[in-house]
Structures are given as structure tokens and as C-alpha cells.
Chain A
Amino acid sequence: MKHLRFWTLWRRNSRVWRKHVMATLIGNLGQPLLFLLAMGYGIGHEMQTIDGLTYLQFLAPGLVTSSVMYSAAFETTYGSYTRLSMQKTYEAILMTPLGITDIALGEIFWGASKGLLSAIIMLAMLPLFGVWPSIWTLALLPVLFMSGVFFAAFGLIMTALASSYEFFNYFISLILTPLFLFSGIFFPLKTIVPSARIFFELLPLTPIVTLSRMLCYGQFHEPWLLKIAGSLLLTLFTCWLSVIFLRKRLIQ
């Protein structure tokens, strides 16, 4: 039981979330769906196919991963920071048997869960745009959850370092937005010169976008196991870091 204590914080967050379900879903899903509509439909008509996919098909799986990234990262920045500073939720929790690790895991898994939910809703809506995901998409869900864990842990590190909400502007402008634009969601990375391409391939969202596209259409032309293993290592490392930073923030 001791090791599952963090679920009580997860349940606390889900209890609160159920009260404002619509607002948060629209917040998380609005942007990627609008991108899909504007770029997939709008620009897509004028473009040739990429690797045998229409532009709308090319774009959709990547935008699903971006919705995971944004949902998870926003939850553990704006959401967690509110709980940390204004609401003093962590302070109250630290008076109970829950420790720093429980708080970090509770927040990270909650952020990842929100990310996964956004992804599932988006995937379920793709047929409305004429995009039909393959059965392999079910295998994609754990990958997306892992990506959610990574971005939630990353966000929590930002929260542990933040002195105000303004601090998150750095995170969004310097990290999330570049990842959104340069992880191969909008254009294939093979158009980049090979020497520079390696950098883009190593961005944390890139393997997830690639895996998402592969599994969504049941193609296995890339080294999927390597991408999963690498992402998993990075995710575990980030979780570990987030516990360290959160402890530094909360314990004097």
C-alpha cells in the first residue's frame, strides 16, 4: 500500500477535474484540433503526399502527440504551481504520511493521464476528418502515456524552479513551442541536411511523433524498439530529477 500512496493525490486531482471537465477538455483539445482543421484541410489540399500519406494523414498523429505534450506540461506547470504556491496543497499534504516522492508521482501521473485522455479523444475524432487509425493505435497508447509522464515531469521541474507564473513563458516559448514546430509534426525531418537532422531526431518529442505515425498507420520501417527504449530512459531520468528539484523547493 505504501508505494501506491501517490494515487490518493491522483484521485484528489481527478475529483477536482471532474468539476470543470468541459473547460479543461476544450483547453487541451481546442488547439490541436484547430491546427488539424486549418493546416490539414486548409493547406493540405495544395500539397503532395508525403511517404504515401496525404498531408492531413501525415499531420494527424503528430498533433495527437502535441496534445499529450501540452496537456501534461500545462497541468504540472500552471496546475501544480497553483497547488504549490497559492493553495498550499503540498504543504498540507506533507503533514500526512505522503512524502515528496508521492507528491511528485501523483502530479506526474495525473498530468500524464490528462495527456492520454486528450490523445484518446483526438484519436477518436480523427475519422471525422477522414483519417482512420489502424488497430496498432492501441499499442500507441502506452507510448503516449510515457510521453505524458516525460512532459509532466519536465513541467514539474519548471514548477519547482518557478518564482511566478511568468517563469513558464520561458518553458513554453523556448521549449514547448520549438518542440511543437520542429519534432516532425508539420514537415518530414528528412528534408533537413543529415548533419543537422540528428539534432532534431534527438529532440524528446521526435521519436514519439515518429512512433505515433508508424503505429497509427501500422508501418514499421523505423527502429521502433530503440526509440521506445531511449524515450523510456529519458522519462525515468526526468522523473528522478523532478523529485530532486521538488524536494529542494519544499524542504529547507
Chain B
Amino acid sequence: MTSTQTAPQTAGAVTPAAGDDIIVQVSGLCKFFGSRRAVDNVSFTIRQGECVGFLGPNGAGKTTTINMLLGLVEKSGGTMRIMHLDIPAQQQEAKCFIGVVPQTDSLDPDLTVEENLLTYASYFNITGRKARAKSAELLEFFALANRRQEIIEHLSGGQRRRLLLARALINEPKLLILDEPTVGLDPQARHLIWERLEILQQQGTTMLLTSHYLDEVEHLSSRVLILDHGKIVAQGVPQQLITELVGIDVFVIEGTTAELDALEKSFKQCEATTERVNDKLYAYTQEDCSRLESLLKKSRSWLRRPANLEDLFIQLTGRSLRES
């Protein structure tokens, strides 16, 4: 397991001021639903300016963890702090610093685009000219300025998501929580959202992201936490984790059982781990195994690609379906 410490730390700095750039600190967090351990002793820290990706199969405990941070689920044990405020005791204060893009669309269908932002701003006690200026700025930033007076029903999926993002930023949050921010969008709409999120990152916005699109997480996150069965099974910088736990390259080879058996042996001689799924052989190589490519000429089909987060994800959490 890799831990990354990007923030510079002075030697022997153990005074409370040492953790000044800590935005979220969770330790020993648990949530039990009856006998089911939905979140089981989870600890992590998010520092100023980081984008932490939360990964895990359905029911791994990602959303439950986020909901505990937001006070929507009561914790069974452990401690949580956001901006040094104790959660849930100082929940209301902490929420002033948080922006949330929820998984489900919770835009107000009774209100127009602009009214959605102004009403949401009022919940943060941002009113009048200040609210209108902020709302105009955000609509501009998310390319929604020309839909200001539109009713929500008339917006496309991508526009709704952008409006949800704009809404989450209305209070200039120190921490932006994104729960599946591009689910169900076409590639154009996704890329537009990524682009905006990257700009926000450059401005130093701290983010906590969950997504099932692993390319999205790879693209946006500076660090990932992989959860399974309520526990953190790995954490670190995506590329480092992939190289360490999966390898450099992945070979995917189709062929008869006999062919694949022989190939598997060859790959084992090169530094590689192998996996058989149906009539496919997966080989994850820890060193350059391109010399084996000549052996593959006879195979029905094969390919070699760099290992990615999806390989890591499958390796850590298995191939079986999780349906809860």
C-alpha cells in the first residue's frame, strides 16, 4: 500500500498547526446496518487541493461514507472532522464549507435555472446582489448563461449536471463532493464537465469524487481510495498503485485451452501474473515482456495495452457481480 504525502512537512512538527491543510480527517469510521458492516473501520485524510477518488463496487460503502460526512447517515463509530469541525456535532457549520453534487438529480423542478441557484444561495444566507452576481458568474462558467430563465424540465442531461455543479459551488466551498458527476452523459457532455473540474482543481478546490467510470477517476484524481466490503483495500496515486499492484502492460489473448496453457507457462517465466477468464488469458507483466509477442502470432487474437485503473479495480475487488 502506498501513501502519498504531497504537502511539505517540517521536521518534528507535531503541534496542532501541523495539520492546517487538512480538509477532511476520518478515522476508524464504522456503520453497521444490523449485522451488516457497511463501513468498517475506514480512515483517510484529504488535504487542501487534493482530488481524492473513491472507488468500489456497488455496496462497497462509498455513498454511506459520504452520507455520514454529510450527516445523512448516523455513524456507528469513529471520528470525522471537516475543516477541523467535529462531525456530526458541528455539522451545520461544516456544511457552509461543503458543496455537493448528488448522484440523483435534486434540482428544483418548480423553479427556473436562475431561481434554483438563488434559492440555494439563500439557504447559505447569500442573498440579494451578491447571490445574483455569483449565480451569473457560475452560469457563465458552466455555459448556461443563455438558459437562465429556462425551466428545469427543458434542460438536457448535460445541462442539468452542469447546473447541479453550479449549485454546488454557490457557497464557494472548500470541499467539493462529487457523487458520480457524469453518470449517464454522452462523451461530449462528460468532457465539458471534466474540463470545468480541471479548472477548479487548478484554482485549488479540494474534491472528493466517486465514480464508476474509472477513466474519469484516473483523469481527475490525484489519489484514489479503493473500498470493498466497507474496508479500504488500497490507497495511493493511481499510476503508482497500478504499476505496483497490477503491472506495466496487460496482454489479452484468445485461443484454445491448450494454446493458452502453453502461453501461460511462458508468461510465468517473464515476470507476470496471469488470469484465465473463459477462453481468454490475461497476463499482467511487471517487466517488459515484448519478447513474448512472437509466440502470440498463432493466437486467434491478442492485444497488449498499458495496465489501467480498471485492471487494478478488478484485481482488488474481483470479477463477480455486486448487486445489493
* Chain A residues within CB distance 8 Å of chain B: 1-2, 5, 8-9, 11-12, 15-16, 19, 87-89, 91-99, 250-252
Contact = CB atoms under 8 A, between A and B. Distances in A.
Given A5-B123, A251-B71, A95 B95 contact: yes
B72 A252 contact: yes
Contact of A16 (B105, B106, B110, B120): B110
Given A251-B72, A252-B73, A8 B123 contact: yes
For the complex of A and B, list the 9 residue pairs with the smallest distance between their C-beta atoms, beginning with the closest.
Answer: A96-B123, A88-B106, A92-B106, A16-B110, A95-B100, A252-B73, A8-B122, A97-B95, A97-B92
Contacts of B124: 96-97
A166 B167 CA distance: 33
Most B Cβ at <10 Å: residue of A1, A2, A9, A95: A95
A251 B106 contact: no
Nearest to B110: A16
B192 interface: no
Nearest to A91: B106
Contacts of B115: 15
Interface string B32-45: 01000000000000
B119 A15 contact: yes
A9 B120 CA distance: 10
A99 B91 contact: yes
Contacts of A16: 110-111
B104 interface: yes
B71 A92 contact: no
B72 to A, nearest CB: 6
A15 B96 CA distance: 24
Interface residues of B, number: 34
B102 A92 contact: yes
Interface of B: 33, 67, 70-74, 91-93, 95-96, 98-100, 102, 104-111, 115, 119-120, 122-125, 167-168, 171
Given A92-B107, A97-B92, A252-B73, 4 more contacts: A8-B122, A91-B104, A92-B106, A250-B72
A162 B13 CA distance: 54
18 contacts: A1-B125, A2-B92, A11-B119, A12-B119, A15-B115, A16-B111, A87-B109, A91-B106, A92-B108, A92-B120, A94-B71, A95-B102, A96-B120, A96-B123, A97-B123, A97-B125, A99-B91, A252-B72
A87 B72 contact: no
A11 B171 CA distance: 19
B73 A251 contact: yes
Contacts, number: 79
A91 B102 contact: yes
Contacts of B122: 8, 11-12
Contacts of B74: 251-252
A165 B315 CA distance: 46
A5 B72 CA distance: 19
Contacts of B70: 94-95
A11 B108 CA distance: 14
Nearest to A98: B123
A15 B120 CA distance: 13
A15 B92 CA distance: 25
Nearest to B170: A96
Given A8-B122, A11-B122, A87 B110 contact: yes
Contacts of B107: 92
A15 B102 contact: no
Nearest to A12: B119
Contacts of B99: 95
B164 to A, nearest CB: 9
Contacts of B95: 95-97
Contacts of A99: 71, 91-92
Nearest to B31: A252
Contacts of B100: 95
A251 to B, nearest CB: 6
Contacts of A88: 102, 104-106
B102 to A, nearest CB: 7
A87 B106 contact: yes
Nearest to B93: A97
A15 B33 CA distance: 39
B108 A87 contact: yes
A17 to B, nearest CB: 9
Nearest to B115: A15
Nearest to A93: B123
Contacts of B171: 96
A251 B73 CA distance: 5
A8 B125 CA distance: 8
Nearest to A99: B92
B143 to A, nearest CB: 22
A57 to B, nearest CB: 40
A167 to B, nearest CB: 22
B154 to A, nearest CB: 15
